[in-house]
Structure 1
Amino acid sequence: MDIFNYHPKTGEFLGAGVAEPNPLEPDDPLVPGYATTLAPPQAEERRAPVYRNAGGQPPQNWPDGSWTLVPDYRAVPLFRTADGSAFGLGDEYNGLGDLPAFLTDEARPGPAYKWVADEWVLDEQLETQQLTAQALAQRDALLAEADQLIAPLMDGFVLDELTPEEEIRLKALSQYRKALRAVNGQAGFPRTINWPVKPA
């Protein structure tokens, strides 16, 4: 008699075998635990056969359950809906069955998206905050770089020892620094920014 083994924790089909002979009742072969004489249905794309009882658990004794096809996400990248981070299969969810509410197979399009009503939705306020923080950090880095370029010229300016070329460079760097401080006042800020060009 053919038997079909299933996993004791997940109920997933593991493979076929043959029942052991029953020395006491030759016409009734021995079916081991977590095996059934019922053939599983054919697996489908992203659906796998599992053997479970009415409570959703794999029964040790096969007459207590039946085969069903359930969603199979074991080969699909999954993500947490809370923050879009990648999810690894384990005790929380093993990949068999419907996705729990805290998971999705849709990658988060960007850091400003939130999971709302079963889909990623752009949070424009959050996006504005993130873009503003990025732009101001970039501006501050450029200002610090400009300060380092201006610093050695300031001594010559105070002492009235700048060459004409140095005076031109100091003025250009000062205008550049002023323009950097004004980027957050631009009409398109922070989504579109016309960054000033650093003097050569």
Structure 2
Amino acid sequence: MSAGRFRHTVAVDFDRVVHDYLHGYQDGSIYGDLVPGAVEALHALMRDFMVVIFTARLDVIGVASWIRSRTGISAVVEPLGERVRRWRPGEVLVTNRKVPALAYVDDRSVVFRAWLAALADVYALSDLACPGGAMNDQETGNAGLLEEIRRLCSEEDPASAVAAIREALGEPVKAPRSAKDLEIK
């Protein structure tokens, strides 16, 4: 198998996807264990894709070392300021920048298809809906909350959707005056 065989890259988040992150960031050291199934999933992906492990951590060398020692998978570190275009089969690239990819496997992602649905998902998973920040609908303690918020986002105007969501969550309604107020400036 040659590196030219891979047409696509799949990016996999490190914390909570490969590394369990049970002890949090603390001093930046990697304290946890492997997420069950992570090694098998990485090997499966590596058969058909270039795999990137991405992290918000600054110490990508530490992440690569942890991956090598815990999984036996060779991990290449992207040098600061340089972009690695290809790596060998059987290796993963470790980086702390967003790379172009077919898919991102991430515990905190919201799939974007349209803004109203994305707003619903973000609010449903936020501390506004779930004190402590649930990671998915089952962790909210209210299994119907995500669907209720998605229903509220049937509004055509994002500002109206945000107002409806905040009202359903019992928050004071401080919605933008219009969709234009939601634009990033």
The answer to which structure has the higher strand fraction is 1
TM-score bucket of the superposed structures, by smaller chain: under 0.3
Larger CA Rg, structure 1 vs 2 = 1
The answer to which structure has the higher helix fraction is 2
